[in-house]
């Protein structure tokens, strides 16, 4: 193999490694369930029969406007976000759950956040599988 060919192969491998570094690995709903049980069940319920607790129930979160669960007394800050058109999706959830009080100053949620990206992705994979009626997709 010539030096030129070796250089080409090395460059191609480097480009491939850089491209892979920018990709996130598939989220794990089972790991998200573990995170939910450890971090979220103190305040939230999800699944069949879930009701509001300290925080609102989380069924049907994907695509749901913020502050829209009947019977839950949301903060003025959450109501203002709703008026501004805030809707839950993977991106808004990721930003919010990183540090809720920084994302929505004045929110009632006192959770300090999940700094680890993979924890947030796994949690979203778990939470977003629940439809509004508590069944899974």
Number of H helices, E strands in the chain: 6, 0
Bridge partners of residue 87, in order along the sequence: 65
User: Is 109 part of a structural domain of the chain?
Assistant: yes
Q: Which of 73, 83, 82, 133 is nearest to 109 (CA)?
A: 73
Output the DSSP codes for 59-119: TT-TTPBTT-STT----HHHHHHHHTT-B--HHHHHHHHH-HHHHSTT-S--------HHH
Q: How far apart are CA 110 and CA 16, in angstroms?
A: 42
The yes-or-no verdict on residue 74 having pLDDT over 90 is yes
Q: How many domains does the chain have?
A: 1
pLDDT of residue 137: 84
Output the pTM of the full model: 0.81
User: Is 72 part of a structural domain of the chain?
Assistant: yes
User: Is 108 part of a structural domain of the chain?
Assistant: yes
Q: How far apart are CA 109 and CA 74, in angstroms?
A: 10
* CATH of residue 104: 1.10.760.10
Percent of the chain with pLDDT over 70: 82
User: Is 70 part of a structural domain of the chain?
Assistant: yes
pLDDT digits (tens, 9 = 90+) for 22-70: 445 689 999 999 999 999 999 999 999 999 999 999 999 999 999 999 9
Q: Are 8 and 105 in contact (CB under 8 A)?
A: no
Q: Are 120 and 97 in contact (CB under 8 A)?
A: yes
pLDDT band (50, 70, 90) for residue 13: very low
Kindly provide the b/e burial profile for residues 40-60, where b requires at least 16 CB atoms within 10 angstroms of the residue's own CB: beebbbbeeebeeeebbbbbb
User: Is 53 part of a structural domain of the chain?
Assistant: yes
pLDDT digits (tens, 9 = 90+) for 119-130: 999 999 999 999
The yes-or-no verdict on residue 1 having pLDDT over 70 is no
> Coil, strand or helix: which one is 136?
strand
């Amino acid at each position: 193999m010539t030096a030129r060919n070796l250089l080409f192969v090395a460059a191609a491998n480097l480009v491939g490694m850089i491209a892979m570094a920018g990709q996130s690995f598939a989220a794990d709903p089972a790991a998200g369930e573990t995170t939910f049980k450890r971090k979220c069940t103190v305040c939230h319920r999800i699944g069949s029969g879930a009701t509001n607790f300290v925080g609102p129930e989380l069924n049907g979160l994907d695509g749901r406007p913020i502050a829209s669960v009947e019977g839950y007394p949301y903060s003025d800050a959450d109501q203002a976000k709703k008026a501004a058109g805030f809707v839950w999706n993977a991106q808004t959830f990721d930003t919010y759950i990183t540090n809720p009080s920084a994302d929505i100053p004045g929110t009632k949620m006192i959770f300090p956040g999940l700094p680890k990206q993979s924890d947030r992705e796994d949690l979203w994979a778990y939470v977003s599988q629940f439809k509004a009626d508590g069944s899974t997709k």
